[in-house]
Structure 1
Amino acid sequence: MSAPPAVRPGGPALRSLLPGRADYAGLARSWPRDLAAGVTVAVVALPLALAFGVATGVGAAPGLVTAVVAGAVAAVLGGSSVQVSGPTGAMTVVLVPLVAAHGPDVVYPLAVLAGIVVVAAALLRLGRLLAYVPWPLVEGFTFGIAVVIAAQQVPHALGVGGPAGESALSAAAQAVGEFAAAPHWAVLGLLVLAVLLTAGAPRVHRALPGSLLAVVGVTLVTESAGLDVAVIGALPDGLPLPSLPDLALLPDLAGAALVVAFLAALESLLSARVADGMSDVRRSDPDRELFGQGVANIASGLCGGMPATGAIARTAVNARAGARTRVAALVHALVLAAIVLGASGLVGRIPLVALAGVLLVTAYRMVERHTVRAVLRSTRGDAVVFALTAVATVALDLVTAVGLGMALAVVIALVRFARTAGAVPEAIEPRELDDDEERELLDRHVLAYRLDGPLIFAAAAHFLAACTATADVRVVILRLGSVTALDATGARTLGEVVAQLEERGITVLVKCASGEHLRVLGAVGTLGPLLDRGHVFAELADAVRHAVGHAAAAPAR
């Protein structure tokens, strides 16, 4: 009988991350809706791609390239049927200081390096870790990002050149000061027009593309009135061929690449999860989504684009437009490519103030007021996590904000977890005792504690205070059968409790520790002295008889 064929390690795992025929199930029926949805999303994505490229400091062309290349690659390889990828506001917040420090060319190797990290995360099956990111933290950095995006647009919105390298808030404040000293009322009028069209058009009819109408309207007014305002400028009339970016900065970009990779993964997985709730198509695969976004970032960097993520706003438009398969996101990328090839001259004449108005409205829409109210009203801890993350995002940077928010959330969770633990005095039934004298000894000098919940380091102090508060007792029985979690610090604290009680002349007996608890207690050394004295018991009756014997022999205190 021949041996079964060898299976290459990781082969099936890698194949599960690649496209398959199931990705296009039902396309024969859904292609008209997918086509219409793709065109609709392209109309929404065009001004945003231009605006995010300009806001980042690399120019409009890399923003378009990112939307085309990353959008197409992620559409084919990603884990969601309706996800739309491209440049986003959150990524802009991270990239602005890097571009100011290293120049615009830094985004290309950064996209490649971050893409490699995200692909590695997919191969390690880290996509499901999103479930452990607290909701208040996500809402907090979303709120902070919205504030930063709005602040970044103030210089262009007022027709004032922003200082490179400064924080968004300080640059906005300086721009306001410069505008107050020398007002440019025509630019302010164009800004108001852009904001009104972006925000107001969908209120007239949901199908109206407000951002596109704002860009077209402001451009027409500027051209017809001959206004002297800053415009996007010349754009390439084609997509660049793939080429290896300058890798000289790679040693300096390791930390930044991890930040970009983290953000790309987090925002893409969040966007895919939002899409799952808006569409009844097959649910997204988080690991495959990471794989697709990683490859999309690599491709974007090689083709002269920026780092990309799944875009929640464009994904929502795609789902609401009736998209059923990933063909819709692919059509969106192809429509944008056609615009690059056939209308780059017209796009270059768009005033920057129009894009600033679009992004100001986008930043406002990023903040869902009812969600913020829900977080702030939920618990005090959740409100603090939200506020800390939001403030740190604005005042510091995104990765520091997420780190601080996660640290605080973990501490709050541990405190809540620890509060479920307790050392509860428990009555002992004297069924196994022979005479009244033994029963009296049991009642007067033996106390049993049932330890409930997790005996972890956060609960250790509470447990220590409860056990050492006993008085007029000669023997304490600790029942560990209800302990749900025991870590090294909890085991060490248990040893300290035993030592403190024995220093007071109280004998400690332990009953009903599970096999895992016994292993931890033994590894820490807590059970060593108790085992040597035979004070660890599997049955309560044995522990009770032993306790009565000790109570009878112990001198009165």
Structure 2
Amino acid sequence: MRTAAPAALRHALTLLPGPGDYRDLRRTWKGDLLAGVTVGIVALPLALGFGVSSGLTAEQGLVTAIVAGVLAAVLGGSNVQVSGPTGAMVVVLVPIVAERGPGAVAAVTLLAGVIVLLAGVLRLGRVVGIIPWPVIEGFTLGIAVTIFLQQLPLLTSAQRAGPGELSTHAIIATGQTLAAADPRYLLWALGAVAVVVACMVLAPRLHPSVPGSLLGIAVVAVLAALLPSPLALIGTIPSTLPSPSLPSFDLGTARDLLPAAATVAALAAIESLLSARVAAGLGDTGDYDPDRELVGQGVASLGASLVGGMPATGAIARTSVNIRSGARSRLAAIVHALVLLAVVLVAAGPVGRIPLAALAGVLMLTAVRMVHLATVRTLLRSTRSDGLTFVITALITISFDLIAAVLIGVVLAAVLALRSLSRTTEVTIEPISTERALPGDEEIIQVRLRGPLFFVSADRVYAKVMGMGHTTVVILRMSGLELVDASGARILSDLVTGLERRGITVLIKGVRPEHTALLRQVGVLSALRHRRHLFADLDPAIDHARSHVERARAAG
């Protein structure tokens, strides 16, 4: 107990902010300020759009980006991570809002924040490392398709669908939306999307610093104000942040919301850690602490819930912009949140007059840019297993559930990897070969075992060896075995026992030192007829086998 307490205390201290987080601030503050302003401008339309797309309000997306952005920047485990509402979280929130109403989101956000916080305290941050690349890319593709489809209701009618009016399944909801579309409104909305997309594509070609999404939204807002447009607007946005208050729910409600909160928490953890891991490789910005990142993201969602916001995660797109703009410390992400706060305090009126179709255009192009065709081609052309894992993960993400897609993708990748690994197990059955053949050598068979011998390949090895014809002596050559698990050792024991029962003497040659203890514990060595039937080299094993053949011939 004396050693456990200090260790726990040391771990707890690593999860807290410290002066080291800002040790290079004197050198980097100018770049951090510029990066923070840049990413704040980029984040504005995304925060508004993700709030609306979730079935909530633009205000809720904005306050989430502000409150969660500051808390995650200060408490998180990455120096350059930018957090806030994301498209992946929208995909999860849409069915929650449809089934339980917008009022349930704050409670789900609070519960999810607690779960993510506990995951960080319990040191579960490294778990994301087991997610294979094909699963991550399939997950990303599925999210991108779903985000794109979720924007269609904003383009087809000025009236937003209420809870229960649209299916929670993105593809079915798309059909329902298009079937009930208002043609006149759809034309106006598609025009707004075209303007936004054109600005986002062309503006960076004029100058890299021009925020194309913000420019496109401004152009559409001005046109909507000047022309007799039917386009629905964001509406009134308060010019102050909401006062903090706990979401109202009891134990019964918490129990009902817990499955949804667990899904949100899992997604928040996965997306934040993936984003932080990618960010650590994009520039010389220092490593990240995955456990501390979970603590920071958990507290960020807790803070967002207190102001009626939505769950927050690390956002790879905004984080990438942050790094490319010169961010080197947490100050950049803090400034990004302050820029958004300034928008609330100063420009809430103009923001409220932005057409929803313009936000849909931003998110549609964002979704398209999430998919990298070169990556898709690489995965599909790599191995059959990786291509299958990628496609199945994407389909499950679109059709069913994000967390189920990740879990199924990981399991499928593991099964296919084990299947491929099992094929590297080689079993060669052949007569002995020496410089001088002696009479009776044809009654000695050597079985070469190479590669891994584990639960997937064990039965195949057993069937092949036991299926050979009758002989007098079998030499099991095991120096080529790279890996043996308990199942593999058990099969070896069964092989020795089965062959001996058929009157075949079994000799074992070349047991590796790292396998000796397991083979002894499982009973492989004790299954031999005599302890002298274990050899380190082949020549003594062949000589001993010949002596058995001679005795068998003499007895016959």
TM-score (norm 2): 0.91
Residues 254 and 546 from structure 1, CA distance in 2 versus in 1: closer, same or farther, beyond 3 angstroms? farther
> Which residue number corresponds to residue 206 of structure 2?
204
1:152–1:169 Cα contact (<8 Å) kept: no
Shift of 1:362: 0.6
Residues 10 and 208 from structure 1, CA distance in 2 versus in 1: closer, same or farther, beyond 3 angstroms? same
Deviations 1:368-394 (A, max 9, x none): 111111111111111111111111111
Q: Which moved more, 1:7-16 or 1:45-54?
A: 7-16
1:389–1:404 Cα contact (<8 Å) kept: yes
Unpaired runs of at least 5, structure 1:
none
Residues 542 and 254 from structure 1, CA distance in 2 versus in 1: closer, same or farther, beyond 3 angstroms? farther
Alignment of 1:91-490 (within 5 A): 91-159=89-157, 161-162=160-161, 163-179=165-181, 184-248=186-250, 249-425=253-429, 439-441=438-440, 443-490=441-488
Deviations 1:222-248 (A, max 9, x none): 112242321112223222333322343
Measure the CA separation in 1 of the matches of 2:197 and 2:175.
20
Q: Which of 47, 53, 73 is the matching residue for 1:49? A: 47
> Which residue number corresponds to residue 18 of structure 2?
20
Measure the CA separation in 2 of the matches of 1:478 and 1:118.
52
Shift of 1:525: 4.8
Helix, strand or coil at the partner of 1:485:
strand
Alignment of 1:65-76 (within 5 A): 65-76=63-74
1:388–1:405 Cα contact (<8 Å) kept: yes
Residues 427 and 298 from structure 1, CA distance in 2 versus in 1: closer, same or farther, beyond 3 angstroms? farther
Residues 301 and 545 from structure 1, CA distance in 2 versus in 1: closer, same or farther, beyond 3 angstroms? farther
Residues 253 and 499 from structure 1, CA distance in 2 versus in 1: closer, same or farther, beyond 3 angstroms? farther
Shift of 1:25: 2.4
Measure the CA separation in 1 of the matches of 2:209 and 2:439.
84
1:158–1:353 Cα contact (<8 Å) kept: no
Shift of 1:210: 1.3
Shift of 1:308: 1.0
Measure the CA separation in 2 of the matches of 1:201 and 1:388.
37
Shift of 1:350: 1.5
Measure the CA separation in 2 of the matches of 1:519 and 1:151.
58
Q: Which amino acid aligns with 1:459?
A: S
1:158–1:175 Cα contact (<8 Å) kept: yes
Residues 5 and 97 from structure 1, CA distance in 2 versus in 1: closer, same or farther, beyond 3 angstroms? closer
Shift of 1:125: 2.9
TM-score (norm 1): 0.91
Q: Which moved more, 1:232-241 or 1:544-553?
A: 544-553
Measure the CA separation in 2 of the matches of 1:133 and 1:72.
28
Alignment of 1:56-67 (within 5 A): 56-67=54-65
Shift of 1:408: 1.4
Helix, strand or coil at the partner of 2:374:
helix
Shift of 1:107: 2.1
Q: Which amino acid aligns with 1:229?
A: L
Q: Which amino acid aligns with 1:113?
A: L
Helix, strand or coil at the partner of 1:136:
helix
Q: Which moved more, 1:70-79 or 1:253-262?
A: 253-262
What number of residue pairs does the alignment pair up? 547
> Which residue number corresponds to residue 539 of structure 1?
536
Measure the CA separation in 2 of the matches of 1:91 and 1:538.
61
Deviations 1:95-128 (A, max 9, x none): 1111111111222222222222223332333323
Residues 183 and 67 from structure 1, CA distance in 2 versus in 1: closer, same or farther, beyond 3 angstroms? closer
Q: Which of 81, 86, 89 is the matching residue for 2:87? A: 89
Q: Which amino acid aligns with 1:411?
A: V
1:114–1:257 Cα contact (<8 Å) kept: yes
Measure the CA separation in 2 of the matches of 1:127 and 1:165.
34
Measure the CA separation in 2 of the matches of 1:234 and 1:269.
35
Measure the CA separation in 2 of the matches of 1:258 and 1:491.
40
Q: Which amino acid aligns with 2:200?
A: T
Measure the CA separation in 1 of the matches of 2:355 and 2:483.
61
Identity %: 49
Q: Which moved more, 1:210-219 or 1:40-49?
A: 210-219
Shift of 1:488: 2.8
1:75–1:326 Cα contact (<8 Å) kept: yes
Unpaired runs of at least 5, structure 2:
none
Residues 71 and 490 from structure 1, CA distance in 2 versus in 1: closer, same or farther, beyond 3 angstroms? same
Residues 5 and 535 from structure 1, CA distance in 2 versus in 1: closer, same or farther, beyond 3 angstroms? closer
Alignment of 1:505-520 (within 5 A): 505-514=503-512, 517-520=515-518
Measure the CA separation in 1 of the matches of 2:369 and 2:57.
24
Measure the CA separation in 1 of the matches of 2:519 and 2:17.
49
Measure the CA separation in 2 of the matches of 1:278 and 1:215.
29
Measure the CA separation in 2 of the matches of 1:215 and 1:229.
13
Measure the CA separation in 2 of the matches of 1:513 and 1:74.
53
1:199–1:361 Cα contact (<8 Å) kept: no
Measure the CA separation in 2 of the matches of 1:398 and 1:5.
41
Q: Which amino acid aligns with 1:539?
A: A
Q: Which amino acid aligns with 2:257?
A: L
1:101–1:165 Cα contact (<8 Å) kept: no
2:155–2:185 Cα contact (<8 Å) kept: no
Helix, strand or coil at the partner of 2:141:
helix
Q: Which amino acid aligns with 1:283?
A: D
Shift of 1:334: 1.1
Shift of 1:323: 0.8
Measure the CA separation in 2 of the matches of 1:417 and 1:151.
39
Shift of 1:500: 4.0
2:422–2:456 Cα contact (<8 Å) kept: yes
Residues 470 and 29 from structure 1, CA distance in 2 versus in 1: closer, same or farther, beyond 3 angstroms? same
